[in-house]
């Protein structure tokens, strides 16, 4: 296959890097699973399934790291049994972070506020993007497809934060409401572009009041802290008449009875469109239409601390988290991709203590972690 007149045959350097990377990952995995476990760590965790490297993950190391973790994030456990359970999970997550560091060497992975949660708990409590079962990899579900925009002449780098279109990083808490934060972020940006005013809009209205289901998959319904879709939320807001401000309908982090007041609508949604599976089109729509609501696979995010994440492999069909695309950069260094590569700037909803002050950088141009599979833009009414 040819593209742009250049052969797609891998270069010798690319093949060498691929072989080296595969060797590193294989060697690391082998070390994790073949190194004899230190007996003392089993006394701490009482869980023989935890792989431990003698030197780095000794009993004292795990204990010390767990104490620092508890102090840093204000963690307290209700009983000794709960403490031991969380310590065991923490030990596993230390190993998992080390695995992620090998698979994603241009980012920094380590201990985060989620290090005492299992993968299942983390996904249940802190994600919430409910992609329809068997949904095709397309720009989104529902709504029309956006017209293709000219991509020549786009800025080398672009950031809506610098233009005043992005509110502060918010915190969804232990509620699978990421979809609501992604929705409000896109609408906040669109309203800013339309009016010049940056309003802080209500996620709680969506959590409490939105029960819309996807037209093609009736089981993909917006369901408060149990997940939802940004495209469903747009439909709800069009039908309901609009969205209230955060101050009028504040976030609680749990689902409650609907308190929507039509007299206090701050922004009305006019329409929304799905962006084609093309990262150049994503960039063009981002520049011309404002921040975009996107879904992605969050598998590397539980251990992410900073840097440009560009993992060797990150599944496109494990999309489970709704976030906000606010910009892109031109030169995020990625050793695995042979040089300086562009990256996306992503606003998350896990507070400012996570990642880069609440933001995530993900390499651009590789369909990484399904970033291009569920992308939508919204337009607001001026009234």
pLDDT in tens, 285-294: 999 999 999 9
pLDDT at 5: 37
Do 99 and 152 sit in the same domain of this protein?
no
- From the candidates 109, 274, 321, 369, which is the catalytic residue? 321
Q: Would you say residue 164 lies in a domain?
A: yes
Do 35 and 157 sit in the same domain of this protein?
no
Q: Would you say residue 31 lies in a domain?
A: yes
CATH number, residue 179: 3.90.70.10
The token pair at 134 is 């068997």
Q: Would you say residue 331 lies in a domain?
A: yes
pLDDT at 7: 38
Distances (CA, A) of 47 to 60, 228, 236, 377: 16, 35, 47, 47
Do 213 and 352 sit in the same domain of this protein?
yes
- Catalytic residue check, 178: yes
- From the candidates 175, 178, 221, 310, which is the catalytic residue? 178
Do 90 and 129 sit in the same domain of this protein?
no
Residue from 172, 161, 158 nearest 206 by CA? 172
pLDDT at 132: 59
| Rg (alpha carbons) of the chain, rounded to whole number | 22
Do 181 and 313 sit in the same domain of this protein?
yes
Do 354 and 275 sit in the same domain of this protein?
yes
- Catalytic residue check, 321: yes
| Single pTM value for the model | 0.83
pLDDT at 215: 80
Q: Which residues contact 299 (CB under 8 A, 6 or more apart)?
A: 314, 315, 318, 369
Do 132 and 96 sit in the same domain of this protein?
no
pLDDT tens for 144-176 read 888 899 999 999 999 999 999 999 999 999 999
Q: Would you say residue 371 lies in a domain?
A: yes
Number of domains into which the chain is organized = 2
Contact 300, 107 (CB under 8 A): yes
- Catalytic residue check, 348: yes
Which positions of the chain have pLDDT values less than 50? 1-55, 135-141
Q: Would you say residue 6 lies in a domain?
A: no
Residue from 366, 363, 346, 364 nearest 355 by CA? 346
For residues 107 and 199, give the distance between their C-alpha atoms in angstroms, rounded to a whole number: 33
Do 164 and 53 sit in the same domain of this protein?
no
- From the candidates 348, 363, 369, 372, which is the catalytic residue? 348
**Structural domain that includes position 70:** 12-103
For residues 329 and 308, give the distance between their C-alpha atoms in angstroms, rounded to a whole number: 10
């Amino acid at each position: 296959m040819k593209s742009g007149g250049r052969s797609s045959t891998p270069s010798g350097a690319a093949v060498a890097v691929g072989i080296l990377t595969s060797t590193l990952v294989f060697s690391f995995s082998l070390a994790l699973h073949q190194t004899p476990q230190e007996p003392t760590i089993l006394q701490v965790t009482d869980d023989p399934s935890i792989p431990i490297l003698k030197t780095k993950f000794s009993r004292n190391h795990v204990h010390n790291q767990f104490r620092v973790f508890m102090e840093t994030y204000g963690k307290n456990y209700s009983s000794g049994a709960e403490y031991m359970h969380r310590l065991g999970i923490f030990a596993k997550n230390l190993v998992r972070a080390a695995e992620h560091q090998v698979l994603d060497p241009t980012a920094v992975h380590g201990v985060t506020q989620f290090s005492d949660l299992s993968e299942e708990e983390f996904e249940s409590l802190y994600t919430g993007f409910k992609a329809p079962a068997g949904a095709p990899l397309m720009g989104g579900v529902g709504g029309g497809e956006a017209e293709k925009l000219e991509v020549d002449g786009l800025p080398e780098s672009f950031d809506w934060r610098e233009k005043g279109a992005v509110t502060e990083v918010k915190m969804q808490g232990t509620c699978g409401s990421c979809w609501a934060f992604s929705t409000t972020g896109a609408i906040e940006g669109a309203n800013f572009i339309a009016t010049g005013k940056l309003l802080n809009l209500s996620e709680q209205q969506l959590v409490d009041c939105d029960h819309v289901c996807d037209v093609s998959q009736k089981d993909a319904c917006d369901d408060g802290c149990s997940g939802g879709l940004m495209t469903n939320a747009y439909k709800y807001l069009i039908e309901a008449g609009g969205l209230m401000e955060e101050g009028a309908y504040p976030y609680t982090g749990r689902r409650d009875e609907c308190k929507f007041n039509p007299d206090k609508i701050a922004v009305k949604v006019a329409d929304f469109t799905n962006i084609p599976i093309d990262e150049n089109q994503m960039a063009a729509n981002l520049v011309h239409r404002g921040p975009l609501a996107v879904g992605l696979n969050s598998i590397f995010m539980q251990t992410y601390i900073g840097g440009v994440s560009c993992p060797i492999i990150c599944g496109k069909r494990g999309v489970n988290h709704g976030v906000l695309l606010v910009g892109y950069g031109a030169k995020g260094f990625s050793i695995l991709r042979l040089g300086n590569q562009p990256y996306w700037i992503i606003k998350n909803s896990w507070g400012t203590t996570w990642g880069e002050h609440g933001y995530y950088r993900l390499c651009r141009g590789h369909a990484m972690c399904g970033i291009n599979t569920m992308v939508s833009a919204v337009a607001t009414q001026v009234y």
